[in-house]
Amino acid sequence: MNNLASKDWTTTKQRLTPYLFLFPAFLLLILTVFYPALQGFYLSFTRYENIALPPEWVGLLNFQRLFKDPVFWQTLGNTVIYLLGVVPILVIFPLGLAVLVNQKLRGIAWFRAAYYTPVVISMVVAGIAFKWLYADRGLLNQFLKHFRLFPEGIPWLTSPKFALFSVMLVTIWKGLGYYMVIYLAGLQSIPGDIYEAAAIDGSDGFRKHLDITVPLMKPYLALVAVISAISATKVFEEVYVMTQGGPLNSSKTIVYYLYEQAFSNLEISYACTIGLILFLFILTLSVIRLLIDRGNQV
């Protein structure tokens, strides 16, 4: 009987030991992620304008205000445009770069490093650098004026027509190398025998990538599409450094609007309401990614 109880206790300890090691990380997640998330969810149903006073329950009042807020709908539209403009480019172009740097050539490692360099540069530094490039007397406008393409230059960051797209170029420039590495890992997992067999069947040159590379890279394409969509939805640093949402809110995204309401206008509850809508949108993208992964596994 004692031996049986001792074995049961030993088995129990073996089962509990991994959870004991996980408990500190789980406790940290509770304090830094789960509790703030629940607190933000609660505050979205309250009025909390004065941090010295407790929040006042107002029910769905913040949501009613949100749906009547023209600036929110404008920022949501800007975010959707950001998604539609950035994601397709970050899905297609890095794959082409990955195919190029996957060649067995002398010095190819230097090209890989060059393409990946923008990833390791701070977004703040990149934003400041591009802000100088986009200036009225910046390098881009000087180039356009010199070759008489646009004698008066282009108001990259001062015109509502160009501001959002100018910021999008920075996001694309920063993301190309990162997604290239993901694709490169996928390309190197494809056996070379498949390409050799395809060459015998007449599928060579660019056609082999349409017949072999793209179909076999579908899981990576789906992964990059979802990750880049989530990143584009949460874009903030570029907007903050380069335009601060202007001019006329033309480059203001939903995350920047959340930040503005919370820290500039001290509308904490309203900012939590915007954050809840953003959370639901990103959660939808994450669920889509999980469904795609499950479909690929099947």
**113, 212: one domain:** yes
| Closest to 242 in 3D by CA, of 161, 137, 83, 135 | 135
Q: How many structural domains does the chain have?
A: 2
Residue 62 lies in a domain: no
Confidence of residue 283 (pLDDT cuts 50, 70, 90): confident
Radius of gyration of the chain (CA): 25
145: domain range? 69-297
**C-alpha distance across the termini of the chain, in Å:** 47
Answer left, alpha or beta for residue 266, where phi above 0 means left and psi between -120 and 50 means alpha. Answer: left
Distance of alpha carbon 235 from alpha carbon 1, whole angstroms: 63
**182, 243: one domain:** yes
**23, 131: one domain:** no
At 163, the amino acid letter reads: A
1 pLDDT higher than 60: no
Residue 67, CB-side half-sphere exposure with 13 Å CA sphere: 4
| Closest to 256 in 3D by CA, of 290, 223, 233, 227 | 233
Residue 59 lies in a domain: no
Residue 57 lies in a domain: no
80 compared with 208, residue with greater pLDDT: 80
**111, 15: one domain:** no
- pLDDT at position 6: 63
What's the sign of the alpha-carbon dihedral 139, 142, 143, 149? positive
**36, 76: one domain:** no
98 pLDDT higher than 60: yes
Residue 50 lies in a domain: no
**35, 158: one domain:** no
Percentage of residues in the chain with pLDDT exceeding 90?
A: 51
Residue 127 lies in a domain: yes
Cβ distance 242 to 127 under 8 Å? Answer: yes
Residue 64 lies in a domain: no
What's the sign of the alpha-carbon dihedral 70, 73, 78, 81? negative
**39, 77: one domain:** no
- pLDDT at position 5: 58
Interval 13-68: pLDDT, tens:
778 888 888 899 999 999 998 999 899 999 999 998 777 788 899 989 999 999 99
Residue 56 lies in a domain: no
| Closest to 243 in 3D by CA, of 156, 169, 114, 138 | 156
Residue 151 lies in a domain: yes
**103, 233: one domain:** yes
CATH number reported for the structural domain that contains residue 111 in this entry: 1.10.3720.10
**122, 16: one domain:** no
**Secondary structure tally for the chain: helices H, strands E:** 15, 2
236 pLDDT higher than 90: yes
Residue that is written with structure tokens 């050539």 in the block:
105
221 pLDDT higher than 80: yes
**32, 84: one domain:** no
Confidence of residue 161 (pLDDT cuts 50, 70, 90): very high
- Name every residue whose Cβ is closer than 8 Å to that of residue 162 and which is 6 or more positions away in sequence: 154, 155, 156
**30, 117: one domain:** no
3 pLDDT higher than 90: no
**Across 113-122, 159-168, 280-289, least confident range:** 280-289
Distance of alpha carbon 155 from alpha carbon 140, whole angstroms: 11
pTM score above 0.95: no
**293, 237: one domain:** yes
- The chain-wide mean pLDDT, for the chain, equals 88
Residue 154, CB-side half-sphere exposure with 13 Å CA sphere: 18
User: Tokens for 194?
Assistant: 């498949």
Helices within 30-107 (DSSP H only): 35-43, 61-67, 70-101
